[in-house]
Amino acid sequence: MQAGKGHKNNMAVPGKPILYSYFRSSCSWRVRIALALKGIDYDIVPINLVKDGGQQYSKEFETLNPMKQVPTLKIDGITITQSLAIIEYLEETRPTAPRLLPLDPKERASVRMISDLIASGIQPLQNLSILKKVGQETQLAWAQAVISSGFKALESVLQSTAGKYCLGNEISMADLCLVPQVANAERYKVDLSPYPTITRIYKTLLTVEAFQVSHPSRQPDTPPELRA
């Protein structure tokens, strides 16, 4: 595994956070957004989920993440897997603005609800490992169906919680989940016209610098033909 350019520097520094990431991984993108919003400088070690049968299956990476998934973050002397656990750790240890989890318990529950709806109810059903099992001929139809089903529920929820963003007018963990999932929907050619609230929030968030610098088209392992 070769270290690549992180948030600012292209040389690994002892003690500096290291994110094991794949440019197109929506879960990795969530964490890249959080790191950017918190202003945390870090290095990236790209893990190609397709090359060589999937670099996540190497023995070396399995010692870091027994689930053989990205993202994985080394920070503060520990290794954390699972994107929402990483984001919550960053918020709890670096509670500076923007707050990714609101202080109000009811608002915090809403953010977690929306985040879990996406991270548990939509994304796992259309990720690479599932699509491989579905089969090449039906992958697109499957992805479109599960995303559309999830977006129908998400649109309904957001109509009662959204302001400028998923919850009111402050960026939260929910927004970090929404943007990569909508990008996946675009990739799989999902018709987004039935989901105006989702689409509006997505377009608004893409104007925010942290969402831009973390974008899959701007990562060290982004293929030249997909680079912005």
**Domain assignment of residue 7, yes or no:** no
Same domain, 124 and 89: no
SS3 161: helix
Q: Report the range of poorest mean pLDDT among 1-5, 147-151, 222-226.
A: 1-5
Same domain, 152 and 170: yes
Same domain, 92 and 145: no
Same domain, 206 and 123: yes
Same domain, 113 and 191: yes
Q: How many CB atoms lie within 10 A of CB 97?
A: 9
**Domain assignment of residue 148, yes or no:** yes
Six token digits for residue 206: 């893409």
**Domain assignment of residue 125, yes or no:** yes
**Domain assignment of residue 62, yes or no:** yes
User: What would the mean pLDDT of 178-187 be, rounded to a whole number?
Assistant: 97
Same domain, 199 and 170: yes
We report the CATH number of the domain holding residue 51 as 3.40.30.10
pLDDT class of 38 with cuts at 50, 70, 90 = very high
Neighbouring residues of 145: CB distance < 8 A, sequence distance ≥ 6: none
Give residue-wise pLDDT tens across range 84-135.
Answer: 999 999 999 999 889 999 999 999 999 999 999 999 999 988 877 888 888 8
User: Which of 96, 114, 148 is the last residue in one of the domains?
Assistant: 96
Average pLDDT score, the chain: 93
pLDDT class of 162 with cuts at 50, 70, 90 = very high
Instruction: Give Cα separations from 61 to 17, 53, 207, 210 (angstroms).
Output: 16, 14, 34, 27
**Domain assignment of residue 174, yes or no:** yes
pTM over 0.85: yes
Same domain, 73 and 153: no
User: Which of 43, 74, 96 is the last residue in one of the domains?
Assistant: 96
Q: Is the pLDDT of residue 11 over 80?
A: no
Same domain, 61 and 80: yes
Sign of CA dihedral 31, 33, 39, 41: positive
Alpha-carbon span 15 to 1, nearest angstrom: 18
We report the CATH number of the domain holding residue 115 as 1.20.1050.10
Q: What's the confidence (pLDDT) of residue 13?
A: 54
**Domain assignment of residue 220, yes or no:** no
Same domain, 88 and 116: no
User: Which of 72, 96, 120 is the last residue in one of the domains?
Assistant: 96
Enclosing domain of residue 46: 19-96
Q: What's the confidence (pLDDT) of residue 9?
A: 38
Same domain, 111 and 210: yes
Domain count, the chain: 2
Q: Are 116 and 181 in contact (CB under 8 A)?
A: no
**Domain assignment of residue 4, yes or no:** no
Q: How many CB atoms lie within 10 A of CB 103?
A: 8
Same domain, 84 and 112: no
Q: What percent of the chain has pLDDT over 70?
A: 94
Give residue-wise pLDDT tens across range 44-56.
Answer: 999 999 998 899 9
Q: Is the pLDDT of residue 3 over 90?
A: no
